[in-house]
Amino acid sequence: IPIKMLQAVAIATAAVASVAYAQDPAPGWMAYAKAELPEGAIINTMSMKWRNLDNPSKGGAFYSPWYGMDPSDNLNLIQPVNPWLGSSWVIYCEYFQWSPEHNVNTDQVPTKPGDLIHGTITYNGDSASSYTMKNENVATGQTTQAVIPIQNGPDGKPKKFDL
C-alpha cells in the first residue's frame, strides 16, 4: 500500500567528517525523524523547503542542512544536501550506499544566505525501481538532480525505502 505523500517535518543536520564507516543515524546528527508507515508501504514522495542559512562566523567545520531517507537496513541514503564549503553555500544531491560502497554526487549549484531551497525525492514506480532526487535554488531557478536505481536486498527484490 504505497503512501501518496509524506511531508518531511524535520531537517537532519549533519556535522560528520565521513559517513563511509557508519550506518545512519550517524553520531554527529543533531536531529532526525523516522516515518511510521503501514506494513509493506514505501515512501513515494518527500518534499522539504528551507531558507539557506547565514554564512558561519567561524570556519573550520563541515556543516550541512539536509533531509533524506533510507530503507529499513539503513544502508542506502538518498539526500538533497545544502553544505557550507568553507567559503560558500551550495546545494546538490547525494546517494550513499554502504555495501558495496558506492557514492553519487550531482553537480553543485551555488546558493546565498536567505535563498529558498526546495528538495524533493520522488519514487518513479515499480517498473522503474528508482527514485529521482532534486534540489532547487528557488531564488535563481537552478536545479541539480539524479535518478537513483533501488538496490536489491538479500531476497533479490528492490529494497523498500521506508525510513
Predicted local distance difference test score (pLDDT) of residue 99:
92
Predicted local distance difference test score (pLDDT) of residue 37:
81
Helix (H) or strand (E) run with residue 21 in it = none
> CA angle 26-6-161, nearest 5°?
50
Per cent of the chain over pLDDT 90 is: 57
Predicted local distance difference test score (pLDDT) of residue 58:
81
Strands 116-123 and 45-51: antiparallel
Predicted local distance difference test score (pLDDT) of residue 2:
34
Predicted local distance difference test score (pLDDT) of residue 11:
29
20, pLDDT greater than 50: no
Predicted local distance difference test score (pLDDT) of residue 29:
59
How far apart (Å, rounded) are the C-alpha atoms in residues 158 and 90? 31
